Amino acid sequence: MRAFQGGHAQVGTPVLDTGLNGRRHEDARTDRQNLENQQARQQQQQRQREEAAKRVEDVPVHTCGASKGTEQVIYDPSRQSRRSPEALGPNRTMSLEKMKDLHLEGKYLQPETQEVDGVLMTKLISDNWDTIWNFQAKPDDLLIATYAKAGTTWTQEIVDMIQNDGDVQKCQRANTFDRHPFIEWTLPPPLNSGLDLANKMPSPRTLKTHLPVQMLPPSFWKENSKIIYVARNAKDCLVSYYHFSRMNKMVPDPGTWEEYVETFKAGKVLWGSWYDHVKGWWEAKDQHRILYLFYEDMKEDPKREIQKILKFLEKDISEEVLNKIIYHTSFDVMKENPMANYTTLPTSIMDHSISPFMRKGMPGDWKNYFTVAQNEDFDKDYEKKMAGSTLTFRTEI
Ligand SMILES: Nc1ncnc2c1ncn2[C@@H]1O[C@H](COP(=O)(O)OS(=O)(=O)O)[C@@H](OP(=O)(O)O)[C@H]1O
């Protein structure tokens, strides 16, 4: 008998005219009702899928992270699949958050490192270096460049809100890491590497990098792309990086706090020396279209710093939208925003119970970690490394 059972009939299954022979009229009515309910549910799900697909199409091209029909970029729960890497085909890649679905965590989470021109990188970045170096930037690209943990995600959210005229829904279209390709970040297929995402993204693109200035792909200089650089004081960067390295399995283990302080000072962390990074970009800022911002200033007066970004991007917005951006990009709101707080990644990649990505968001937290002796040693070493530079930082506000 071809009658549906327990309401699991497929759409289009010819149930009513074949499955009811010899059954009671009452049963038939219930069965018909079940089928109608089932069909209504399926139609509703289909409508939701179509609406989700439409939302993706509706996102303005300058911020949209995927072309229609690809699997890799847009966060869309209705399209969660459990396909194998092979089933994705040669040109199909996927967002990092799907790693769990593919049971790939153990296979890929080996933070092997290798230096590129004396700067520590993951081995995957190092192996892919020629391709990264030859990345083709475009004149209308916007690059957000930072040393790790300096306020990248915060700046990304501000920029996205500006580009979308304060439309929170549009900024919810995908995870931070899928909205703004992290150009040097290399993952094995089928996972999305930054370059895969960037090359598929329609212009104008907003990109992210932690590369020191001398390692930036030269096409950015040649094409005169705009760059926002955000710097954060060394001690808070160190503390934030230490906790991030504890919770994120994609970067090397930090060891003990004492060990990490020395590793950081020696610049033997991913993306190299903080000192060289902030100084290098500081020197470059007067020769290129670079807006150099400070995390501490953003914290002290977000309105003033967002206005600097607006001017740099040549954007005009109303006071109302500006206030909306300040609110939406505040630490407390971003901490609860799954599209900005990295909580959609599997815990095997980032374990927020060890330390949340959105941890404290406050200048001066270093005082809770440095001993007096560590602080004195740090300051002495800092003076030597920063000697001759006009760049100064505030370590509290
Ligand atoms: N809105 C807002 N306001 C203030 N602070 C914020 C905000 N968003 C992120 N953060 C803090 O920035 C730190 C993470 O830095 P990054 O985003 O640069 O990290 S990453 O390098 O991209 O992994 C990390 O700093 P710590 O809290 O000191 O660890 C985040 O909490």
pLDDT in tens, 166-222: 999 999 999 999 999 999 999 988 888 999 999 999 999 999 999 999 999 999 999
CA 23/CA 6 separation, integer angstroms? 16
Burial class (CB within 10 angstroms; exposed 0-12, middle 13-18, buried 19+) of 365: middle
Nearest Cα residue to 236 out of 125, 40, 395, 354: 395
**How far, in Å, from the CA of 148 to the mean position of ligand 1?**
9
pLDDT in tens, 154-181: 999 999 999 999 999 999 999 999 999 9
Query: Residue 64 has what pLDDT?
Result: 26
**How far, in Å, from the CA of 384 to the mean position of ligand 1?**
27
pLDDT in tens, 326-357: 999 999 999 999 999 999 999 999 999 999 99
The minimum-distance atom of ligand 1 relative to the CA of 147 is 21
Question: Would you state the structure tokens that stand for residue 349, as one six-digit string?
Answer: 């990649």
**How far, in Å, from the CA of 325 to the mean position of ligand 1?**
17
Question: Would you state the structure tokens that stand for residue 143, as one six-digit string?
Answer: 């690059």
Query: Residue 190 has what pLDDT?
Result: 84
Q: How confident is the model at residue 151 (pLDDT cuts 50, 70, 90)?
A: very high
The minimum-distance atom of ligand 1 relative to the CA of 335 is 8
Residue ranges around ligand 1 (CB below 6 Å): 146, 148-154, 236, 240, 243-244, 299, 329-331, 334, 358-361, 365
DSSP character at residue 79: G
Q: Given a cut of 70, is residue 76 above it in pLDDT?
A: no
Which residue's CA is the nearest one to ligand 1's atom 12? Answer: 151
DSSP character at residue 350: B
pLDDT in tens, 269-294: 999 999 999 999 999 999 999 999 99
The DSSP code sequence of 334-345 is: HHT-TTTSSTTS
Q: How confident is the model at residue 3 (pLDDT cuts 50, 70, 90)?
A: very low
Catalytic residue among 180, 210, 277, 328: 210
The best mutation among 153, 210, 229, 355 to test binding of ligand 1, ranked by most ligand atoms within 8 Å of the C-beta, falls on: 153
The minimum-distance atom of ligand 1 relative to the CA of 244 is 29
Query: Residue 100 has what pLDDT?
Result: 62
Amino acid identity of residue 204, one-letter, is: P
Q: How confident is the model at residue 105 (pLDDT cuts 50, 70, 90)?
A: low
Nearest Cα residue to 156 out of 52, 262, 248, 228: 228
pTM of the model: 0.79
328 is catalytic: no
Which residue's CA is the nearest one to ligand 1's atom 3? Answer: 331
**How far, in Å, from the CA of 25 to the mean position of ligand 1?**
65
Query: Residue 8 has what pLDDT?
Result: 28
Task: Give 102 or 68, the one with higher predicted confidence.
Answer: 102
Check if the interface score ipTM surpasses 0.95: yes
The best mutation among 146, 240, 246, 339 to test binding of ligand 1, ranked by most ligand atoms within 8 Å of the C-beta, falls on: 240
The best mutation among 122, 143, 152, 154 to test binding of ligand 1, ranked by most ligand atoms within 8 Å of the C-beta, falls on: 154
The minimum-distance atom of ligand 1 relative to the CA of 248 is 23
Question: Would you state the structure tokens that stand for residue 101, as one six-digit string?
Answer: 């679905």
Query: Residue 32 has what pLDDT?
Result: 54
The minimum-distance atom of ligand 1 relative to the CA of 156 is 17
DSSP character at residue 19: S
**How far, in Å, from the CA of 10 to the mean position of ligand 1?**
48
Burial 331-352 (b: 16+ CB within 10 A, else e): eeebbebebbbbbbbbeebbeb
DSSP character at residue 191: B
Site of tokens 């049963």:
27
**How far, in Å, from the CA of 177 to the mean position of ligand 1?**
14
Q: How confident is the model at residue 107 (pLDDT cuts 50, 70, 90)?
A: low
Which residues share a beta bridge with 290? 227
